[in-house]
């Protein structure tokens, strides 16, 4: 079982996501346990203050170090393995990839800090956080939705959460090509027909069609992914044709 | 006001996120309206089926085209501008950036389709969707959490949702450097002191310190971002020193 603690000022944001779809299933099956910790509970003053003005001036408020350090230490004391790994969702982190998701799915426990306001006191980053993870080059109000994305991506890789079929399906993504086009009934929908090869029942032709279309889509949309992909000679000939506008 | 329709099989996943933080504020202020549409309501059979097997065989189920086309058309008929833009959250799409977020924040209306199962019938992509958007190179179970990320990122850019201060703050991200380190009280926390410059009250020195640290962090963590950044001569001298291990 993977144990995850989420440190957030908005635990109620997680209710819908934890109660549906894959996360619900992983929690019900006992493959995943998620503890939501409101680090405001670790504020020490009467007003439960968690933020303060930045030294040197500037816009917005920062999260104070004290409540976060105390919350992390409280979680660590409860986790069987002491929860060494503390993730921070931040646009300054290492960009999330499926490889990192796989790595986190193999762990036994970790926690994730969700920021809010304009950011954290830097000492949180320097002395508490072990991994900074970014969803990408865009700005979210807080780390909560980013943490949900991480939880969802990890949960579906935990043993038994998805069926074997669907897990196998992932491998094609991990292998580095975008997905080939897929079609379901009806064979003709509003005058748009399914490609005849897919209806042929000829398994080898179908496999070839899918491979070439996955390759084409990757070449057209995400050529950067091809750098890490082991192209065959046949693949190279296809790409040469497309590059000539064929 | 920006009108957004979200087409999903799991509208209840959105409750927590729409009821807290920035999305709550944008909705309450009337800068944003979000309509959750369960496209299962557009299934035509007794069992309300929305998925079917892929032609040509393979793992998993695909979303059928019919209910999605009908749901999109129903939403369009209700939207004042006919809602031409239909987004699909998919790992095959254009990777979400702050530039695309800004573009979507300037629109009047759009809708976003959230996938589930193994994907969509390709005719949805070919004939219904206008923009495919990816959060990044990782696999989510469905498009819901990706749509939440998009909604959050867009909502905070809508006029009046954040204060002016915080909006101004974004510009530094948009300008292409990672954030400089920030500190708040106490000045010494567990033996870790705030850098003295930030306590000096000398505004020009503080501004310089922040710029150089933002530059350093970007150089160390995300050198790719510097390609699009207008470096000054002084910036180049700093980078040359860091490259020499100084």
**What integer pLDDT is reported at residue B116 of this predicted model?**
78
For residue A173, the chain B residues in CB contact (below 8 A) are 91, 139
Q: What is the mean pLDDT of residues B175-185?
A: 89
Q: Distance (Å, rounded) from C-alpha B88 to C-alpha B133?
A: 6
Residue A187's contacts (CB-CB under 8 Å, 6 or more residues apart) are: A193, A194, A199, B55
Residue B207's contacts (CB-CB under 8 Å, 6 or more residues apart) are: none
Q: DSSP label at B22?
A: H
Pick from B69, B103, B122 the residue to mutate for testing the A interface (most A CBs within 10 Å): B122
Per-residue pLDDT band for B206 (boundaries 50, 70, 90) equals very high
Residue B45's contacts (CB-CB under 8 Å, 6 or more residues apart) are: none
Residue B104's contacts (CB-CB under 8 Å, 6 or more residues apart) are: B87, B110, B150, B154
Q: Distance (Å, rounded) from C-alpha B166 to C-alpha B155?
A: 13
The H-or-E segment that residue B93 falls in is strand B86-95
Over chain A (246 residues), the average pLDDT of each successive run of 10 is 97 96 95 98 96 91 96 97 96 91 96 87 96 93 96 94 60 71 96 97 96 95 91 96 92
**What integer pLDDT is reported at residue A179 of this predicted model?**
87
**What integer pLDDT is reported at residue B228 of this predicted model?**
85
So what's the ipTM on this one?
A: 0.93
CA distance A79 to chain B (A): 24
Candidates A112, A144, A107, A146; CA nearest to A130 is A112
**What integer pLDDT is reported at residue A168 of this predicted model?**
45
- Most distant CA pair in chain B, distance: 72
Q: What is the mean pLDDT of residues B163-167?
A: 56
Q: Distance (Å, rounded) from C-alpha B218 to C-alpha B215?
A: 5
pTM of the model: 0.93
**Tell me: the pLDDT tens digits for B10-46?**
999 999 999 999 999 999 999 999 999 999 999 999 9
**Tell me: the pLDDT tens digits for B207-218?**
999 999 999 999
CA distance A61 to chain B (A): 9
- Among B residues 4-23, those touching chain A with beta carbons less than 8 Å apart: 10, 12-17, 19-22
- Among A residues 45-74, those touching chain B with beta carbons less than 8 Å apart: 51-66, 69
Comparing alpha-carbon positions, the chain A residue that sits nearest to B178 is: A92
CA distance B187 to chain A (A): 8
**What integer pLDDT is reported at residue A165 of this predicted model?**
47
Q: What is the dihedral of CA A196, A199, A201, A202, to 10 degrees?
A: 20
**What integer pLDDT is reported at residue A219 of this predicted model?**
96
Candidates B86, B82, B81, B99; CA nearest to B6 is B86
Question: Pick from B17, B135, B141: which is nearest to A136 by CB?
Answer: B135
Per-residue pLDDT band for B173 (boundaries 50, 70, 90) equals low
């Amino acid at each position: 079982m993977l144990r995850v603690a989420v440190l957030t000022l908005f635990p109620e944001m997680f209710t819908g996501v934890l109660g549906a779809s894959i996360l619900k299933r992983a929690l019900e099956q006992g493959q995943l346990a998620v503890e939501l910790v409101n680090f405001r509970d670790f504020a020490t003053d009467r007003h439960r203050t968690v933020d303060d003005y930045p030294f040197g001036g500037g816009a917005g408020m920062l999260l104070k170090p004290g409540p976060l350090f105390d919350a992390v230490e409280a979680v660590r004391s409860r986790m069987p393995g002491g929860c060494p790994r503390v993730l921070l969702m931040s646009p300054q982190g290492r960009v999330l990839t499926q490889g990192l998701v796989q790595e986190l799915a193999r762990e036994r426990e970790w926690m994730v800090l969700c920021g809010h306001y304009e950011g954290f006191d830097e000492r949180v980053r320097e002395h508490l956080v072990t991994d900074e993870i970014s969803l990408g080059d865009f700005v979210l109000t807080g780390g909560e939705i980013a943490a949900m994305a991480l939880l969802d991506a990890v949960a579906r890789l935990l043993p038994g959460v998805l069926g074997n079929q669907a897990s196998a399906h992932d491998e094609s993504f991990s292998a580095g090509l975008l997905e080939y086009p897929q079609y379901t009934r009806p064979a003709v929908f509003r005058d748009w027909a399914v490609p005849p090869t897919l209806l042929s029942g000829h398994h080898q032709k179908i496999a070839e069609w899918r491979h070439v279309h996955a390759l084409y889509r990757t070449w057209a949309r995400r050529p950067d992914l091809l750098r890490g992909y082991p192209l065959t000679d046949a693949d190279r000939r296809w790409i040469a044709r497309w590059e000539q506008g064929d």
